[in-house]
Amino acid sequence: MLGYLGPEGTFTHEALISLNLDDTTQAYSSVGECLDAVRAGQVSAGMVPIENSVEGVVTATSDSISNGDPLQIRAEVLLPVVFGLYVRPGTQLADVRHVITHPHAAAQVRHWLAEKLPQAEITEKGSTAAAAQEVSHKDSSYDAAICSTGAGELYGLTAAASGIADNPNAVTRFILVSRPFTPEEPCGHDKTSLVVYLNDDHPGGLMEVLDQFSLRGINLCRIESRPAKDKMGNYHFSIDAEGHVAERRLQEALMGLHRTCRDVVFLGSYARADQVAQSVKESVRDVDFEEADTWMSRILHPGFRGVSPQE
Amino acid sequence: MLGYLGPEGTFTHEALISLNLDDTTQAYSSVGECLDAVRAGQVSAGMVPIENSVEGVVTATSDSISNGDPLQIRAEVLLPVVFGLYVRPGTQLADVRHVITHPHAAAQVRHWLAEKLPQAEITEKGSTAAAAQEVSHKDSSYDAAICSTGAGELYGLTAAASGIADNPNAVTRFILVSRPFTPEEPCGHDKTSLVVYLNDDHPGGLMEVLDQFSLRGINLCRIESRPAKDKMGNYHFSIDAEGHVAERRLQEALMGLHRTCRDVVFLGSYARADQVAQSVKESVRDVDFEEADTWMSRILHPGFRGVSPQE
Amino acid sequence: MLGYLGPEGTFTHEALISLNLDDTTQAYSSVGECLDAVRAGQVSAGMVPIENSVEGVVTATSDSISNGDPLQIRAEVLLPVVFGLYVRPGTQLADVRHVITHPHAAAQVRHWLAEKLPQAEITEKGSTAAAAQEVSHKDSSYDAAICSTGAGELYGLTAAASGIADNPNAVTRFILVSRPFTPEEPCGHDKTSLVVYLNDDHPGGLMEVLDQFSLRGINLCRIESRPAKDKMGNYHFSIDAEGHVAERRLQEALMGLHRTCRDVVFLGSYARADQVAQSVKESVRDVDFEEADTWMSRILHPGFRGVSPQE
Amino acid sequence: MLGYLGPEGTFTHEALISLNLDDTTQAYSSVGECLDAVRAGQVSAGMVPIENSVEGVVTATSDSISNGDPLQIRAEVLLPVVFGLYVRPGTQLADVRHVITHPHAAAQVRHWLAEKLPQAEITEKGSTAAAAQEVSHKDSSYDAAICSTGAGELYGLTAAASGIADNPNAVTRFILVSRPFTPEEPCGHDKTSLVVYLNDDHPGGLMEVLDQFSLRGINLCRIESRPAKDKMGNYHFSIDAEGHVAERRLQEALMGLHRTCRDVVFLGSYARADQVAQSVKESVRDVDFEEADTWMSRILHPGFRGVSPQE
């Protein structure tokens, strides 16, 4: 069974369906509950949102995934963000006073709301689908939900406005996580996710982290600082790097970070949803590492040279 | 006149009061409105929240300040975050079903709420003081506000619970901004704030940015990546560096960034609220730069050597 | 009057002639004497050898030029190294037992000598031309000189063998030095020579030196470590960098070195003999520095914005 | 049998004797011949000079050792340089006109000669001991040899002047080399010698080489550029690094160089003659590498966690 941030009809639900996995599904009402169910083994994996291109990382997911029993990413999914203002049949746009939605959705339609519904009061709900469900009650105190078409239709609402996202190119990224497992084989467009905690907050620390990657010819897809919970001015870094932990260059870089940083949390190696193929430059391919192993072992054991009588 | 993110009684209001400025004040109902009033010259400066140690940068402030007509930071203030659950006199904790507050406050009492009021529905409001004001109406549909003692008392509420922040060390940082002005004299514990837009998203770009600082012996207090609005995977960086733009080392580093980055927004040089004194290492003091100027001018104009008949 | 490492007929003499300078010349019998004459004002400039592609830097020149009163390079000349074995008319190759030449010439014909004259004893002389002059005395105890065609002919010798340099591509580099002067205008294929003394011998020191150049987009043509005279394991660096000290990027890099290193000796900006044009990347052209100056002065004096009524 | 740069009485001979090795010895008349004898197996090891603190690397040794069949350094020896002017009994200092010595010795007494024997002609000989031997012939055309006390006495000469080296702190470094062998155990003050050929002459290349060391916390004792024989402006680097190839940090750095450089020649890991103990910082000790291995193997094979029934 697979979990997801529900209820039915959320973008997260759509993301899970898009993977065409042949399994039953179970909705959870928060990211935390979904990940807890994964950790407890109640579901084999769970789909949760991790980032959108307007607000950045989804804080709750990012924090939950790297604290507590280890979890590992199996897959990522990218979905375009398409919002509408959904109302009970009969409600007019001009009548809308109380709007309910998820805070990230609110952030992504801020300008539209300021222009079209400047007087509306916005109430926060755990998901856009839950907001749609709330509005679907005929005695709800809310007039409209900002949600996806799928959620609006699922709960019998009609669109008072559609395509209302401020940025038509906005995309949300979702991840499917499960308990630790042997990473799957590299596919050629792989990505590795990490959280890195620096040993202290000396500024050179971040340069050293970046150097561990660049010296092994590894490009970063994303790096974000996150404040530590305990102290202003103390940060850790959430990093997506090109490549797969089965590759020698990634292994050496990750072990370099492990040796020099306070903590490194491995969150998985998996196929990039955007399928951008990686180019591994000469000198950091697995074959280059193996060739260097051979060279080093001849230095350490020169007696093995010339063992063969034919040489 | 000075603006602030109101209404009266917000943490931001407390931050403004703490500066003991001898001026009238004006509350604004959102960060955007407050900054617009500064830009329009309706107030000479405005106080807004910029960062808290749990959720990180306040997105709305960070985005508003670096987009639009230029603004510049005059001062920063740090306040400890102390929240209570404030209700109309007579309401019992056990009766609380509908809670209203600011989303960042909600995030900072998440665990307390999950434990003590697991069934409560949380509604988002523009500020914790506005939430207290809402609850103060005797026919409000909300039972409680999460807000500061100041705001609770201001609106005649009583504390159903106090000290409810999950992290007792949480701190919020506020900034006082105005239109561009000649930065004040350095005080010895100065800080300079910038937003840096990289030329493209090659990973080495961030290392080059960090190198512009480290080669001039400048420590960073904070660096945060922010996603660009337009494209997943495109980032800019919000940076607080030690030191003051009146120092030569800062000038050279900032001009280096200006030459090599797509854009650099200068947000001000001002006294650090934590008053941590900076140590400027030999070789990057102003006197070292001046000495190097003299050396270079002798290289370019060696004829000036020996001008003096005594030499 | 111009000095050169003589006597007449040396490669250095040829190098000086190749510049077509309209002035009288004076030969000196050692690099040190030639440079002393420049320092004393007895000649306006002096030509000396500085590097050959087999043995590297000419130690005597390199040391003399950077110690003592300052000298500055005006021009460089590259000459192919073409050696012959020159004898008094009548002497046969098979009879040659005692050979005299300059040590660098000896090094460059080492293999030829080992093969053709394995029994010959080699004696060191201050220059190849002086060696030819020595052999020209009919009662000389030397049978042959290794020298250039010019020197051989000048002293009435004949070639027992020619084209005997082990490496037919060998080149020697000469420099014309004078007392400090305002460097000439950049010509587009300029080079700047320096000697850099590190503050101490920490290994990061060299990386910092290189970083001063690379952060300003400056390529190095050559870097050589030279042992300090006083202590094993203590080094300074002789550097040729692309570009001219009249360029802002060079000025900032040199001043950065001056601020952070124990000492920096400027040896001149001059046209590269190989005429390889430099490419200055965007962000470090003079126009980029000037644009950054303007930007910084607006930060420091924002009142100047909009002063003009036309703006 | 052990070879050395002879004849008997050279500094190199003294260096070999100082090791107290219980073996017969064989003098060779040049560094090349000595190393050839090692390569051919005629001697089990050979002692040769590699560096002095005035002239730097002994070119002939440095080139011979890294070209041809591989050789490996077993030990290094440091000797103070103490020169005297040795003559046949009866010769007075004032009578000395023709002096014979090794070119490096000449360089190290240059100032003394200029002051005391300005008219003397200096002839080059393969070693200072051979020069003494030459002078010892009663019909020699040379009046004096510059050599060590040992060599002067060995050949029956007397000192016309002693302690004549310009720099009383000058030291010469000698190395004992043999055919490749399994390096001995680390002793805590180890050194590793390499020659590194860059892939091309882009200036960033040297920074990358240095970074391979610094990222693994390895200090360099010495780095010298050497011009390539074939092309002006093309360099390789001779490097002595702290530490022993049996250490994981050295192995990873060397393999990193092997992967990214055109060629890397390993010249040995051996005890430093100056016995300066190395300090290996936390994060690059062998135990840190092993701990990182364990961590990585749990990432790659998470199933192995919890194998133990007690867990």
Tens of pLDDT along B77-91? 999 888 999 999 999
pLDDT in tens, A108-133: 888 899 899 988 888 877 778 889 99
Q: Do C296 and B212 touch (CB under 8 A)?
A: no
Distance of residue C224 Cα from the nearest chain D Cα, in angstroms? 5
Q: Are C239 and C195 in contact (CB under 8 A)?
A: yes
Q: How far from A218 is each of A285, A289, B22, B25, D91, CA to CA, in Å?
A: 11, 14, 55, 53, 72
B200, pLDDT greater than 70: no
Tell whether the model's pLDDT for residue A304 goes beyond 80. no
| A210·B206 Cβ contact <8 A | yes
Q: Which of B259, B284, B294, B301 to mutate to test the interface with C (most CBs of C within 10 A)?
A: B259
Which phi and psi angles does D154 have, rounded to 5°? -55, -35
Helix (H, G, I), strand (E, B) or coil at A69: coil
Cβ distance B255 to C292 less than 8 Å, yes or no, reads yes
Q: Which of B124, B167, B235 sits opposite A229 (nearest CB)?
A: B167
Fill in the amino acid letter for A130: A
Q: What is the DSSP string of C217-229?
A: T--EEEEEEEE-S
Per-residue pLDDT reduced to its tens digit, D192-210: 999 999 876 565 778 889 9
Calculate the average pLDDT of chain B.
87
Q: Please state, in angstroms and rounded to a whole number, the distance separating the CA atoms of residues D100 and D51.
A: 21
pTM for the structure as a whole:
0.84
Residue of B nearest to C305 (CA): B180
Q: Nearest CA of chain A to the CA of B300: how many Å?
A: 35
Name residue A37's amino acid.
A
- Band of residue A253 on the pLDDT scale cut at 50, 70, 90: very high
Do chain B and C touch: 3 or more Cβ pairs under 8 angstroms? yes
Q: Are A82 and A149 in contact (CB under 8 A)?
A: yes
Residue A300 has its nearest CB partner, among D245, D295, D299, at D245
Average pLDDT value for chain D: 87
Burial class (CB in 10 A: 0-12, 13-18, 19+), C143: buried
Give the torsion sign (CA, B196, B197, B198, B199). Answer: negative
The per-residue pLDDT for A232 is 55
pLDDT attached to residue A277: 84
Q: Which of A258, A260, A299 sits opposite D295 (nearest CB)?
A: A258
Per-residue pLDDT at D219 exceeds 50? yes
Residue C259 has pLDDT above 90, yes or no: yes
- Mutation target to probe the D interface, by most D beta carbons within 10 A, among A259, A261, A266, A307 is A259
B198 contacts chain C (CB < 8 A): no
Please state, as a whole number, how many other Cβ atoms lie within 10 Å of the Cβ of residue D168: 9
Q: Convert the pLDDT of each residue in D236-276 to its tens digit.
A: 888 999 999 999 999 999 999 999 999 999 999 999 998 88
The answer to whether residue B241 neighbours chain C at the CB level (below 8 Å) is no
B259 vs C260, C292, C301: nearest CB: C292
What sign does the dihedral A149-A155-A156-A159 (CA atoms) show? negative
Rg of chain C over Cα atoms, rounded to whole angstroms, equals 24
| Chain B residues within an 8 Å CB radius of A233 | 221-222
The mean pLDDT of B241-268, rounded to a whole number, is: 96
CA D95/CA D161 separation, integer angstroms: 13
How would you classify the pairing of strands D190-197 and D263-271? Answer: antiparallel
pLDDT at residue B308 above 60?
Answer: no
Nearest one of B149, B116, B145 to B128, comparing CA atoms:
B145
Query: How far apart (Å, rounded) are the C-alpha atoms in residues B46 and B25?
Result: 9
Of D212, D254, D301, the CB nearest to A182: D301
- What backbone phi and psi angles, to 5 degrees, belong to C62? -60, -40
By C-alpha distance, which of D29, D59, D56, D25 is closest to D131?
D29
Asked if C180's CB is within 8 angstroms of B259's CB, the reply is: no
Lowest mean pLDDT among A209-213, B79-83, D44-48: B79-83
Which chain A residues contact residue B226 at CB under 8 A? 56
Q: Please state, as a whole number, how many other Cβ atoms lie within 10 Å of the Cβ of residue B136.
A: 18
What are the chain D neighbours of A181 within 8 Å (beta carbons)? 302-303
Instruction: Enter the tokens of residue A234.
Output: 């103390």
Cβ contacts of A53 on chain B, cutoff 8 Å: 227-232
Is residue C261 scored above 60 in pLDDT?
yes
pLDDT at D309 over 50: no
How much is the pLDDT for A56? 58
Express each pLDDT in A284-296 by its tens digit: 999 999 999 999 9
| C-alpha dihedral, B93 to B99 to B105 to B106, nearest 10° | 100
With contacts defined as CB-CB under 8 Å, which chain D residues touch A183?
299-300
Is B286 part of the contact surface with chain C (CB cutoff 8 Å)?
Answer: no
> Would you state the structure tokens that stand for residue A35, as one six-digit string?
């990940």
C226 touching chain D per CB within 8 A: yes
3 state SS for D158-218: EEEEECCCCCCCCEEEEEEEECCCCCCCCCCCEEEEEEEECCCCCCHHHHHHHHHHHCCCC
Mean pLDDT for B122-136 is 85
Residue in this structure with the two tokens 């009046």, named with its chain if needed = D143
- Rounded Cα distance, A235 and A262, in Å: 12
Pairing outcome for strands A45-52 and A56-57: antiparallel
| Interface check C29 vs D, CB under 8 A | no
The interface residues of chain C toward chain D in range 48-87, judged by CB-CB distance below 8 A, are 51, 53-56, 59, 78
Is the separation of the CB atoms in B86 and B158 below 8 Å? yes
A310 band by pLDDT with thresholds 50, 70 and 90: very low
Q: State the angle between helix axes of B286-300 and B248-260 in degrees (0 to 180), rounded to the nearest 10.
A: 70
- Measured distance CA(D295)–CA(D304) in Å, rounded: 12
How far does the CA of residue C68 sit from the closest CA of chain D (Å)?
15
Which residue on chain C is closest to D51 by alpha carbon? C232
Contacts of A225 (CB under 8 A, 6+ apart): A235, A236, A237, A238, B222, B223, B224, B225
* Residues B151, B86: Cα–Cα separation, whole Å: 9
pLDDT at residue B52 in the model:
67
Max intra-chain CA distance, chain A: 94
Helix (H) or strand (E) holding A199: none
Residues forming beta bridges with residue D176, ordered by sequence position: D47, D75
- Give all chains having 3 or more CB-to-CB distances under 8 Å with chain B: A, C
Average pLDDT over every residue of D35-45 = 96
Nearest-CA neighbor of D107 among D81, D86, D130?
D81
Q: Where do the DSSP E strands lie in A20-71?
A: 25-28, 45-52, 56-57
Q: Under DSSP, is residue C71 helix (H, G, I), strand (E, B) or coil?
A: coil
Closest CA to C107 of A93, D103, D180: D103
Q: State the pLDDT at residue D202.
A: 60
Q: Using the beta-carbon criterion (under 8 Å), do D59 and C55 form an inter-chain contact? A: yes
Q: How confident is the model at residue A54 (pLDDT cuts 50, 70, 90)?
A: low
Q: Which chains touch D (3 or more CB pairs under 8 A)?
A: A, C
Whether the pLDDT of residue B305 is over 50: the answer is no
Query: In 3D, which of D158, D151, D172, D152 has the Cα closest to residue D7?
Result: D151
Q: Is D225 on the interface with C (CB under 8 A)?
A: yes
**Which chains contact A through at least 3 pairs of Cβ atoms less than 8 Å apart?**
B, D
Query: What amino acid occupies position C240?
Result: D
